[in-house]
Chain A
Amino acid sequence: MKLWNKKVAGATILTMSMLLGACNGTDKETTDTKDGDTSEKKVEIVYASGVDVTGATDKLIAAFEEKNPNITVKRQEMPADTGASHDQYVTTFSSQSAEIDVFDADVIWPAEFAQAQYALELDRFIEADGINMDDYFPGTVQSGNFNGRQYAMPKYTDAGLLFYRKDIVETPPKTWDELFDMASELKGKEGTEFGYLMQANQYEGLVCNAVEFIAAYGGQVVDENNEVVVNTPETVAGITKMVEFVNSDFVPSNILSFQETETNNAWVGGQSVFARNWPYMQSTSEDKEASKVAGNVGFAVLPSGDDTNAATLGGWMSMINRYSENQEAAWEFVKFMSGPEGQKISAVEGGRAPTIASLYEDEEVKEAAVLFSNEEFVATLQNAVPRPVSPIYPVISDIMQVELSKALAKDITPEEAAKNMQDKIVAAMAE
């Protein structure tokens, strides 16, 4: 009985402290709004972006606040996983919340968010501030454009790269066939276990890898007239090559569970001769503490197929919440981040590839990463192949992931995969 009384007392104390906690919460909020109303029009905007371990985001905000003393930027961290943060944005924006003002968007989101009316069109700001969109890489601008209006400003870009071991390979292969032969031949040298690493797990990265194969053989998923053109001999050739790689004896037997992390771990562990990954792997490879291959890593553009060589466009954009109550301030921040000054900070501090061509002539940027002074790399970025720009991109991606995954597991043939993708994407677009 005593015990029970004690528990009741404990409960009361806890309940009280919780009520106090709640009161504190409201107190804080009222003072916040007071700040906003009184002193010379100080505004606070909330900027949502993914976890950043480089510290570049904080530097970016500091530089911006210094230039714009009446705007403070509050950072809201989003999950590192792109899919998880997409889903969180959907929850927030679909409730028409004004909580977030500015947010970072993966290149595949702008059309979807624009159509869903989550994002603000930026054309009037762009016109008013005389920003020349031709300064940016065209692919990145295109990704932020929907129905003729610009919804997102390019912030940094990414493109698939071929990494190779300089201590094993003299000249990197030019074609996928050459890569196939070299990987199979060189596997085992210098303690390697595998010839090639890629991302073949059923997730967004699978689409990125597939788009590279498909484009290399001259295929496309959706053409410039928004027609689905995936069921072509070119696409089938690309998928066939991809299936060959995945089922070869020089990739890890669990390649179907490989994402970027697995690729990077195996690569820095010195297990493979070649690997496909995003440019960030350049810096993790050179991290002497965790990497066994520091100093031995070279990079090249991805090989070509029958048609050309192609790298999938990645990277991030900045967008403004349609329901933001501080649109002007939000735009100032977006303009700064996506402008030359902001992008330079991202490049120098965070190693992120600028989307403004002229920045690659800047000495500090060139010095920031080996990649940035490499013309071939800059050309790759400039010509990177975007994934289909569509408001229902998540559906298209899902269809592609499922069908490609089945083809890689040899449940269906590449021809069937191409045909299924065609039928299902056409049906989804017509819905």
Chain B
Amino acid sequence: MNKRPGIWFYIFLVVFVFFVMFPFIWVFLTSIKPPGEIFNNFKWFTSNPSLESYENALTNRPLVRYMMNSFIISSLTTIIAIAFASIAAYALTRLPIKFKGLILGVILAASMFPQIAIISPIYNFITAVGLRNSYMGLVIPYITISLPLAIWILATFFQKIPWELEESAKLDGATPFQTFRKVIFPLAAPGVFTTGILVFIAAWNEYLFALTINTEDTWRTVPVGISFYQSQFTIPWGDISAATVIVTIPIVILVLIFQRRIVAGLTSGSVKE
């Protein structure tokens, strides 16, 4: 298990990562090509790289603003969704309530309907409560969309945590809420962070709701913003590639930071079977 991987492993890894990353690498290479070279040639490297596309991407549209919007919306969604989902999942796995199967089923049913079919009612709802062109206008639907996944994942994690730990906490006089906060939640950290990353990126990626609900340019999110680079008959590939590269970097950094939490240490250290 803990044998040090050999050189072949690293070679394999490099090739593998290259294949996974290839489309993205190509987008990056496209983004530094001058406009005339983007089409009609399969050359990997341009002889005169330029940052023109990056300049266009940042000046033609408020890309930084889009990123900020997306970042705030996704963060809020993640935090609130995880909070709601983890307490719900705890109650469903640990507390003696009835109709657990039914509740889980109902929650799951929420992600069985095509999203395109509920856009109109959600649009009407958000308009009615006056949240169009605001962060909350998107955060509310996003939380709802991500709750089923979050609850289900967290439930599977909470379920794996041995009862004994909880029993001893209870004996020490902890309330269920304290037990949850101090025992269960930290133990399930890999699950919580995984769910967090999944929810964050799902919110970051969402397109149709964002397009319909936030129609003002200052409230647009990244996916919608990038789609607005094109005009009726032309797609400025250079600008779009540059914008894609720019918006992907923060996500990579974020994942780099948070993936550290997805490690076995916490759980397997304390969970003795």
When A and B assemble into the complex, do they touch directly, with CB atoms less than 8 Å apart? yes
Interface check A290, CB cutoff 8 A: yes
Task: State whether B212 touches A88 (Cβ < 8 A).
Answer: yes
Closest CB-CB distance, A119 to chain B, in whole Å? Answer: 19
Q: Do residues A4 and B211 form an inter-chain contact, with CB atoms below 8 A?
A: no
Whether A50 pairs with B212 at a CB distance below 8 angstroms is: no
Q: Min CB distance, A2 to chain B, in Å? A: 10
Which residues of chain A are within 8 angstroms of B235 by Cβ–Cβ distance? 261
Contact, CB under 8 Å: B234 / A284: yes
* Residue A257 lies at the interface, judged by CB distance under 8 Å to chain B: no
Q: How many residues of A contact B (CB 8 A)?
A: 42
Return the CB mask of B18-51 against A: 1 if under 8 Å, else 0: 0000000000000000011001100000000000
Give 1 or 0 for each of B107-129: 1 = CB within 8 Å of chain A CB: 00000000000011001100100
Q: Is the CB of B232 within 8 A of A22?
A: no
Check A289 against B186 for contact (C-beta < 8 Å).
no
Is the Cβ of A4 less than 8 Å from the Cβ of B232?
no
Contacts between chains A and B (CB distance < 8 A), count? 92
CA distance A280 to B231 in the complex (A): 12
Partner among A4, A82, A84, A260 whose Cβ is within 8 Å of the Cβ of B186: A4
Kindly list chain A residues whose C-beta atoms are within 8 Å of the C-beta of B186: 1, 3-4
A131 in the interface (beta carbon within 8 A): no
Q: Which residues of B sit under 8 angstroms from A3, Cβ to Cβ?
A: 186
Contact across chains for B79 and A22 when beta carbons are under 8 A apart: no
Q: Which residues of A contact B127 (CB under 8 A)?
A: 95, 97
Q: Are A1 and B182 in contact (CB under 8 A)?
A: yes
B175 contacts the other chain (CB 8 A): no
- Are B216 and A80 interface neighbours, CB within 8 A? no
Q: Given contacts A95-B123, A271-B40, A289-B35, is CB(A278)–CB(B231) below 8 Å?
A: no
Number of B interface residues at 8 Å Cβ cutoff, please give it: 40
Question: Out of A29, A91, A278, A289, which one reaches B36, CB within 8 Å?
Answer: A289
B120 and A76 within 8 A (CB): no
Q: Which of A68-90 contact B (CB under 8 A)?
A: 76-77, 79-82, 84, 88
Q: From residue 222 to 273 of chain B, which have CB atoms closer than 8 A to chain A?
A: 227-228, 230-235
A196 to B227: give the CA distance in the assembly, Å.
30
What A residues does B215 contact at CB under 8 A? 76, 88, 99
Contact with B along A35-52 (1 / 0, CB 8 A): 000000000000000111
Instruction: Select the residue from A52, A82, A91, A95 with max chain B CB neighbours within 10 A.
Output: A91
- Convert A272-284 into 0s and 1s, putting 1 for each residue whose CB lies closer than 8 angstroms to a CB of B: 0000001010001
Q: Does B185 contact A (CB under 8 A)?
A: yes
List residues of chain B with CB within 8 A of the CB of A51.
228, 230-232
The 9 A-B residue pairs with the shortest CB-CB distance in the complex, in nearest-first order: A269-B40, A260-B233, A11-B79, A53-B231, A25-B134, A51-B231, A80-B230, A80-B231, A95-B124
Beyond the given pairs A14-B75, A21-B135, A80-B232, 15 more chain A to chain B contacts, judged by CB atoms under 8 angstroms and listed by A's residue number, are: A3-B186, A10-B79, A18-B76, A21-B136, A22-B131, A51-B230, A77-B228, A81-B232, A88-B212, A91-B119, A91-B123, A94-B120, A260-B233, A261-B235, A271-B40
